[in-house]
Structures are given as structure tokens and as C-alpha cells.
């Protein structure tokens, strides 16, 4: 599976699972970019079916709804959905 990388301030390993057509996923990417945070992401709907199935299993570990966007931080914490306040709090909003 190929992920895309966005350079920025290192706040641990940030992985964003998104859909290319999802407005909330786009807002999450925009927020991470505005905060200047380094992250990797994958647009799950653009993956081959085998990779998509594996990623869906991974998303369910962090988000019981299996919805998008889902952010995983250092493989220890997940944020489900577009929640700017929680994202800023958890990632230190650049401070």
C-alpha cells in the first residue's frame, strides 16, 4: 500500500485514513496542513481491493464505526471523524 507524505513539524507518526471524495477528510487534511504538522495519509477508496480490506481492518481498531477520516497517532491513539478541537488538543496545535 502506498501512502502519501506531507512534510511539517514532527508530532510523532501521524497516519490519516481518508476518502478522496469526503468533505470531512478534506477539511482534516486542510487543518493538519494549516497546523504545519507532518503526516502520512492514504485515500482508502483509491486502493486496490486487497489493500482496501486491510486498511478497513486497521481503521476499525481505532474507530469502531469504520468511518472516515480516522487519524492514528503513534499507533497508540485514534481520532475518529473531523474533530478540530480534539486534533488541536492532541497534536498540541503547534506549541
In this structure, what are the phi and psi dihedrals at residue 6, rounded to the nearest 5 degrees?
A: -120, 120
**CATH number among 1.10.1040.10, 3.40.630.30, 3.40.30.10, 3.30.950.10, domain 4-94:** 3.40.30.10
- Using CA atoms, how far apart are residues 87 and 33, in angstroms rounded to an integer? 12
CA torsion 37→5→30→42, rounded to 10°? -130
DSSP helix/strand/coil, 26: helix
95 pLDDT tier (thresholds 50, 70, 90) = very low
Query: Measured in Å, how far apart are the chain's first and last C-alpha atoms?
Result: 32
How many residues in the chain? 95
CA angle 15, 19, 21 (to 5 degrees): 145
Residue ranges covered by each domain of the chain: 4-94
pLDDT tens column, 14-72: 999 999 999 999 999 999 999 999 999 999 999 999 999 999 999 999 999 999 999 99
Amino acid at each position: 500500500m502506498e501512502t502519501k507524505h506531507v512534510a511539517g513539524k514532527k508530532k510523532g507518526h501521524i497516519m490519516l485514513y481518508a476518502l478522496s471524495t469526503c468533505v470531512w477528510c478534506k477539511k482534516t487534511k486542510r487543518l493538519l496542513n494549516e497546523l504545519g504538522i507532518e503526516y502520512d495519509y492514504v485515500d482508502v477508496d483509491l486502493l486496490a481491493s486487497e489493500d482496501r480490506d486491510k486498511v478497513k481492518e486497521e481503521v476499525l481498531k481505532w474507530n469502531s464505526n469504520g468511518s472516515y477520516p480516522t487519524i492514528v497517532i503513534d499507533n497508540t491513539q485514534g481520532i475518529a471523524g473531523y474533530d478540530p478541537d480534539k486534533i488541536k488538543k492532541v497534536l498540541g496545535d503547534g506549541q
